[in-house]
Amino acid sequence: MKKVLYSTLGLAFFTAVAATLPGPGPRIEFDAPEAYPEGVTYDQTAKVYYVSSARLGQIGKVTLQGMYAVLHTDPALKSTYGLKLHPDGKRLFVCVSDANYSKFTEPATRMKMARLISIDIQSGRKLSDVDLSRLIPGKHFANDLTFDRSGNTYVTDSFAGAVYKVSPDGKASVFAKDERFATEGVGLNGIVYHPSGYLIVDNSAKGQLFRIDLSNPKQVQQIKTDRFFMGADGLVLNDNNTLTMVVNGGTDKIFQLASTDNWQSAKVIASTVVEDRFTYPSTATLNGKEIWVMNAQFNQLLDSNSVPLKKFALQQAVLKPVK
C-alpha cells in the first residue's frame, strides 16, 4: 500500500515538474508535402503567410488555421527562397535559384540560376521575371530581398558575394560587391532596408553583419557585434534600433540585437532558448509585433535516407532577455 502511494505521489511530482518546464512557442502546422518552405512573409490584409519552397519551387500560402494552398507553381523555378510582399500589397516578390535542394535541378541551372520574379497575389499569375545571373560571372544563389522607399528591390547573391538592385521598371544592376562579402559556400544572406538610408545584410559563413550606404554603396561597414553568428539567415527590422536575426546550422536560435549608434555597432539583447526546439529555422516575418519563424528543416534534406517530410511549421519566437 505504501509503495502504491509513493508511486502515485512520484507521478504527481513529475507531472508538476513537466508542466513547469519550458516548451516550444506557439506553432502553426501545415501539410505541404516535400515543399521544404524557406521564405515567409505575412499579409496583414489577407491574414495569410506566403511561403516559398526550396525543394519544389512552388509558392504557397498558409492560413492562421494551418491550411496550405499552392499560389503559383512551375518546375522551371527549381527552388524559391526569400520572398516579400511589395508595399503596394498586391504583388509578391520572390528569389529564385537552383542552389542545392531542388527536385528539378539540372546541370544548366545548378548553382547558375538567379532570378527575381513577382506574382499577383490574387490570381497567382507571374507578372515579371528578371534574370540576375548575367550581372556577374560564376556561381549564383539569389537568396533574400528587401525594398527601399523608392520601390527598388535589393537581392543578395550568396555565391557571388553581391547585392543586386532592380528598379521598379525591372532594370537590374550590381549594387554592392565588397571583398569582405566573399566566402566559400553560402555568404551574404538576410537583408533589410533601414529608413535612415542604408541596407543591413548578414553573412552566413562569416557570422557578420554589414551596413551598406544607399547613396554610396562602396561605403560598406562591418557592424561591430558582441559575438559572431555562424549560420545567420533571415533578418527582420523590428524598429529603427532593433533587429531580429534567424540563425541555423546547428545553433537553431533566434536573436534580437539592439543598436544605440545608428548601426555602427550592436549587441544581443534577447534570444530564444534551446527548449523552443526550432528545426533549421530560416526566415522570419512580423505579424503585428509577433515574430513568426519558418522551420525549414533542411537538415532532413541532408540525410539521403530520410523520407520526404509532409508537415511543416511556422513558430512564434518567444524571446528571453539576455543578461
Give me the DSSP letters along 276-322: G--SSEEEEEEETTEEEEEE--HHHHT-TTSPPP-EEEEEE---EE-
Judge contact between 192 and 200, C-beta under 8 A: yes
Amino acid 64: pLDDT? 98
Length of the chain: 323
Could you give the percent of the chain with pLDDT greater than 70? 92
Judge contact between 109 and 140, C-beta under 8 A: no
Cα distance between residue 83 and residue 95, in whole Å: 6
Q: Name the nearest CA neighbour of 150 among 214, 212, 97, 98.
A: 214
Judge contact between 2 and 9, C-beta under 8 A: no
Sign of the CA dihedral with 269 first, then 270, 274, and 275 last: positive
> Average pLDDT, stretch 143-157?
98
DSSP 1: -
Indicate the residue type of 282. S
Strands 220-225 and 265-271: parallel
**How confident is residue 243, by pLDDT bands cut at 50, 70 and 90?**
very high
Cell of 56: 519544389
Amino acid 14: pLDDT? 34
Could you give the percent of the chain with pLDDT greater than 90? 88
Residue 291 neighbours by CB distance under 10 Å? 22
Please determine, for residue 16, whether its predicted confidence score (pLDDT) is greater than 60: no
Amino acid 125: pLDDT? 98
CATH number of the 29-321 domain: 2.120.10.30
- Backbone phi and psi for residue 295, each to the nearest 5 degrees, phi listed first: -85, 95
Amino acid 2: pLDDT? 33
Please determine, for residue 321, whether its predicted confidence score (pLDDT) is greater than 80: yes
- Averaged confidence pLDDT in the chain: 92
- Give residue-wise pLDDT tens across range 156-184: 999 999 999 999 999 999 999 999 999 98
Kindly report the pTM of this predicted structure.
0.92
Please determine, for residue 6, whether its predicted confidence score (pLDDT) is greater than 60: no
Amino acid 68: pLDDT? 98
- Give residue-wise pLDDT tens across range 31-80: 999 999 999 999 999 999 999 999 999 999 999 999 999 999 999 999 99
> 3-state class of 190 per DSSP?
strand
Q: Name the nearest CA neighbour of 44 among 85, 81, 80, 82.
A: 85
Amino acid 22: pLDDT? 52
- Backbone phi and psi for residue 44, each to the nearest 5 degrees, phi listed first: -65, -30
- Spatial neighbors of 125 by CB under 8 A, at least 6 apart, are 72, 119
Amino acid 221: pLDDT? 97
**How confident is residue 304, by pLDDT bands cut at 50, 70 and 90?**
low
Cα distance between residue 279 and residue 291, in whole Å: 16
Q: Name the nearest CA neighbour of 57 among 38, 85, 84, 41.
A: 38
